[in-house]
Amino acid sequence: MEAGYPRIELWTPPEAHPRVQHTVRPPRTFQLSSPGLWYLGFSIDGELELTADPPRGTFCEVQYDNGWWVSQRSGDRHPLHVNETLCWRRRKLLHLDHLRLSDAWLRYFEGPEPALRSAEHEARVYERPDDGRLWQIYADWLVERGDPRGGRVVQGTPHSNDEAARWLDTLAVDTWSTRLWASWAHGFVHSLTVFAPANTGLPTGAMERALSHPVSRHLRELHIASSALNFQGDLIHQTLKLLSEREWPRSFERLVFRCAAEGPLTPELAPLLEALRQRAPRLRTTMDTLVAALPRR
């Protein structure tokens, strides 16, 4: 299998019972099973086809071709959902997108992250993240070893045709009712702003994919903005729960909640905040009103 090939796995969402996971590594024939159903597939030259075969003669077929998925169906019993949204059109799958066919959940992966890492250089930029000289040394180390990420570190902000910039732009456009903005520093996402309308809540799927991507490895700031009238409800709780359940880069140092009116943090949020601070020792939390204009695309 080449490093760039995509793969899909049977996935266990947090609220579901555990299921066995199988990795699909094209090109070959594969089988995925979920309770009571079989999903059969075949892959050649990077094209992947997955077919669900449930009872009563209905089926949902998903075909992968050069980065695009096409769904076809017979009957209304088992439509395809991508990130909990019905998918009836061609669309580009993104890293960590999840698909649901009947009671089977699958997760899509772009491919393994480049293995070239330097704990020494990353520790140095963590201790002094604003020191451009240390970032330059890190970039030179990558370039000398043929890693294209070294050029991105030198450029600072990716060009529009850069893979990292295209990925984040696609994620922002593809996320319904959500807006994402990123600021870049030294070739990585420095801060991420997520705007969640009051009527839709926190876009946990989009946030998870954005925060899990390699370009967010040195993330320092996360801003959550909402048009809700106050901080009541579960917006903050959802955010802290999502963040406390994943490994954070130690560079993460600022979490800002911005809403239309200011409100206090409730006591039940303290354990979640403490869990976050244990993983990101520099973390500071700020509550603010939504008075400044959000950055424009």
Question: What are 220-232's pLDDT values in tens digits?
Answer: 998 888 776 555 4
Verify that 161 and 267 share a domain, yes or no. Answer: yes
Whether 295 maps to a domain, the answer reads no
Whether 34 maps to a domain, the answer reads yes
Verify that 146 and 160 share a domain, yes or no. Answer: no
Peptide bond into 295 cis (omega under 30): no
Whether 2 maps to a domain, the answer reads no
Among candidate residues 44, 76, 109, the one where a domain is terminated = 109
Whether 296 maps to a domain, the answer reads no
Verify that 242 and 255 share a domain, yes or no. Answer: yes
Among candidate residues 109, 141, 176, the one where a domain is terminated = 109
Whether 46 maps to a domain, the answer reads yes
Whether 1 maps to a domain, the answer reads no
- pLDDT classification of 167: cutoffs 50, 70, 90: low
Global pTM value: 0.61
Report for 76-85, 89-98, 250-259: range of highest mean pLDDT: 250-259
- Quick one: average pLDDT of 86-93? 67
- Domain interval for residue 147: 114-155
Verify that 41 and 63 share a domain, yes or no. Answer: yes
Verify that 160 and 262 share a domain, yes or no. Answer: yes
pLDDT exceeds 70 at position 286: yes
- Quick one: average pLDDT of 267-279? 75
Verify that 193 and 269 share a domain, yes or no. Answer: yes
Report for 172-176, 225-229, 241-245: range of highest mean pLDDT: 241-245
CATH of the domain at 195: 3.30.750
Domain count, the chain: 3
Classify burial at 11, counting beta carbons within 10 Å of its beta carbon; exposed 0-12, middle 13-18, buried 19 or more.
Answer: middle
Verify that 141 and 198 share a domain, yes or no. Answer: no
pLDDT exceeds 70 at position 188: yes
pLDDT exceeds 50 at position 184: yes
Identify the residue with better confidence: 193 or 296. Answer: 193
Identify the residue with better confidence: 23 or 141. Answer: 141
Verify that 136 and 207 share a domain, yes or no. Answer: no
Task: Dump pLDDT digits (tens) for 15-70.
Answer: 444 343 444 444 444 555 444 445 555 544 444 555 555 444 445 556 655 555 55
Whether 294 maps to a domain, the answer reads no
